[in-house]
Structure 1
Amino acid sequence: MEGRAAGGFAPAGLERIAAAEQVAAAPIASSTHRAAPATAPARRADPAAQLRRLLNLRPQAPLRAAPAADRRLEGEEIAPGLYYTEAWTPWPRQDALVLHGIGQGEVERERVLAFDTETTGLAGGTGTRAFMIGAADWHAGGLRLRQLLIATLAAETAMLRTFAGWLGEETVLLSYNGKSYDRPLLSTRYRLARLADPLPACGHIDLLHPMRRRYRTVWPNCRLATAEHELLGVVREDDLPGSQAPAAWLQYLRGGSAATLRRVGDHNAQDLRSLCGLLERLAD
């Protein structure tokens, strides 16, 4: 205790306390007193620059706008959200089709309408809809291909009405598995849209069934791609599989590119040409 003062603090500590008391007791400068002007105005610090220095980050380049998506659809918009395309392919034969081998007798070509749908799924039911309907018929010395595509859900009714206008009482439908899938699906959509269903009044040739009877023990399967390859020599290059069609349409509805959706149209058109070629081959 020899080095401490009576209050318990060393002399050096007392001196520091006394100095602090003198500073506290000094008179406060009057508010009218003005400080001497600085030689240069103080520069305000940039908070963003300070943060970058603290985090050791480099300034980033300004963001560039993403390129606009390719939204171009083929054909003419014949109703809000409904697009129509038509193409014509030379077809030399125009005689009647003799189809005794598949139980149809003799059928005039002008009555045959091949059709194929592209849908939002393969499960069927009321939740599945067709977003594209393609049709092909012999017309003016060649094969006419017509396609309807909806770019909005609200355009479905207009598409169904337009397709119904292509059918008559003498029409004979031509499909591949259409009796089990395409026709029931379209009939459901007509009922839900509260429209008259024109399909039951038409005759119907479903090529899947005669293909199975003739070739199920010869080919590995009787899919349309197998039949067109074996009987017509068709080899598809860069063809979009039908299983990817629903994703292509949904991508477009969500604001994406239309490039893949245009490939769906090419796939559908080839299906129609193959249907007509296979019908002739079975007739021969």
Structure 2
Amino acid sequence: MRSLRERLKSYKKDMIHHEAAPAIESLAEEFEEQTSVFPESALESVLPGCEEMTPYGPCYYRDVRFDVLTAHGHYPLARTLHLPLDVFYKVCKVKDGPHEWDEVCFFDTETTGLGSGAGTFIFLFGIGFYEEDEFVIRQYFLRSYTEERALLWSLAELLKRFRVIVSFNGKGFDWKLLETRFSMARLQVPSVIHLDLLPPSRRLWKKILGNCKLTTIEQEVLGFSRNDDIPGKKAPEIFFAYLSDGDARPLVGVFTHNVHDILTLVTLSAHIGMMVEHPLHMATHPEELFGLARWYDEWLQGKTSEACLVKIAEMDETNEYAREAMWKLSLFYKRLGQYEKAVLLWHELLDGHGMWQTAPRIELAKYYEHKMRDYQRALRFTEETIALLQEKRSLVRSLYIDHELKELFHRHNRLKNKMRKAVNDSVQQR
């Protein structure tokens, strides 16, 4: 079937005939009606941007700019700039990197699926970066599959400006898929230092929040709620609809979702960085303090780790969090050889339940046997532990309990032998 434009051209040949004029006018009105509707739903009208010519053809992107004083939840975008990048290298287990924020970008994608194979495309790339007194988010959009190679080339050129990339689950998904797409397009993947904020977020909030999704963290921790975007799981459906009908209006929510993800990455960086820099002031939940204490312990900054645990223990002495903090503190003091402090904590933990009935007694038995040579007290704590575990085994069968009992009986026999030897030595000395 011929298009409307082709039909108009053929009718123009008959314009000299008076009787054809009404038909031509009718067709012209129909054409004008169609073309007047099209621009309103076109990508260039709905999401104005730029078309860039590359060695592989055209690609489309748009820039969204924010003043760095713009707030996203609890923090202005500028807050992240005041934190040393060393903090993020430590929490993300990266050895070293640049120290200037103008070499850092924030990265998020929207894809046609959750796989990382050749059949999954990235149709929206978001790259956020600081530029003078603004934060810029450049969004590359795949208008058609034929433009992918051009888009990837342009993206690679932009990424050459940066040495560090920050993402949320990017190592596990986004970057792997990006590598696949670059490989399929026979292009070189940019070399970057990757900071993924998902692992540190899990350490701090996994046990506090129902999940560690970015949208959950931003609402529960960062004080930001989304009202004008669409859930990420609906993005593929909207993209496929656009490829089918060319109507870009439903894409606005997808682009907005991508912008929110990147802005949240910026303020999440600020929040994690401030918690590491000022743990006693910023952490409000014991689980956060436990996570921070573990980091400082790994970084051999024992004093700060100790301060975090002490704060938990001071929150509520009867709380399970406080008991766990006291236990970790006791092991910390034991490791430093500060046994007086450790023993005090073990005695305080004796009236607990569960593991607090046995673990402190085992440590006290070791202490009195090996450090104080007080075999009688060591034997008493060993026998108490054996009785508690035997009672527990009568209720629950466990290989772990059987192993613990085997070790305790071995200690019990050793202590008995030491006590007999001590008595014999005493008699001989007389």
* Pairwise same-fold verdict (TM > 0.5): yes
Q: CA RMSD in A?
A: 2.2
- Find the counterpart in structure 1 of residue 277 from structure 2: none
Which of 66, 81, 99 matches 1:89?
A: 66
Q: Letter of the aligned partner of 1:229 in structure 2? A: Q
> Which region of structure 1 is more displaced relative to structure 2, 120-129 or 69-78?
69-78
- Find the counterpart in structure 2 of residue 148 from structure 1: 140
- 8 Å CA contact 2:128–2:138 kept in 1: the answer is yes
Runs (4+) of structure 1 exceeding 6 A deviation are none
Which of 128, 135, 157 matches 2:127?
A: 135
Q: Which structure shows the higher strand fraction?
A: 1
Following the alignment from structure 1 to structure 2, what is the Cα–Cα distance between the partners of residues 108 and 262? Answer: 33
- Find the counterpart in structure 1 of residue 43 from structure 2: 72
- Find the counterpart in structure 2 of residue 282 from structure 1: 272
Following the alignment from structure 1 to structure 2, what is the Cα–Cα distance between the partners of residues 272 and 254? Answer: 28
Q: Letter of the aligned partner of 1:85 in structure 2? A: R
Tell me if 1:236 matches 2:226.
yes
Following the alignment from structure 1 to structure 2, what is the Cα–Cα distance between the partners of residues 130 and 254? Answer: 17
Following the alignment from structure 1 to structure 2, what is the Cα–Cα distance between the partners of residues 86 and 68? Answer: 25
Q: Letter of the aligned partner of 1:180 in structure 2? A: G
- 8 Å CA contact 1:169–1:202 kept in 2: the answer is no
Which of 148, 151, 156 matches 1:159?
A: 151
Following the alignment from structure 1 to structure 2, what is the Cα–Cα distance between the partners of residues 131 and 210? Answer: 28
- Find the counterpart in structure 2 of residue 206 from structure 1: 196
Following the alignment from structure 1 to structure 2, what is the Cα–Cα distance between the partners of residues 130 and 209? Answer: 23
**TM-score with structure 2 setting the length:** 0.48
C-alpha distance after superposition, 1:120-140 (max 9, x if no partner):
111221100101100001221
Tell me if 1:195 matches 2:169.
no
Shift of 1:77: 1.9
Following the alignment from structure 2 to structure 1, what is the Cα–Cα distance between the partners of residues 91 and 174? Answer: 24
Tell me if 1:227 matches 2:204.
no
- 8 Å CA contact 1:81–1:152 kept in 2: the answer is no
- 8 Å CA contact 1:113–1:136 kept in 2: the answer is yes
Give ranges in structure 2 of 5+ residues lacking alignment. 1-32, 69-77, 275-430
Following the alignment from structure 1 to structure 2, what is the Cα–Cα distance between the partners of residues 228 and 250? Answer: 28
Shift of 1:280: 1.1
Following the alignment from structure 1 to structure 2, what is the Cα–Cα distance between the partners of residues 102 and 131? Answer: 28
SS of corresponding position for 2:245: coil
- 8 Å CA contact 1:81–1:151 kept in 2: the answer is no
Following the alignment from structure 1 to structure 2, what is the Cα–Cα distance between the partners of residues 156 and 108? Answer: 31
Following the alignment from structure 2 to structure 1, what is the Cα–Cα distance between the partners of residues 206 and 264? Answer: 19
Following the alignment from structure 2 to structure 1, what is the Cα–Cα distance between the partners of residues 256 and 162? Answer: 29
Shift of 1:102: 4.2
**TM-score with structure 1 setting the length:** 0.71
SS of corresponding position for 1:274: helix
Q: Cα distance 1:81–1:266, how it changes in 2: closer, same or farther (>3 A)?
A: farther
Shift of 1:108: 2.4
Q: Letter of the aligned partner of 1:234 in structure 2? A: F
Structure showing greater Rg: 1
Q: Which structure shows the higher helix fraction?
A: 2
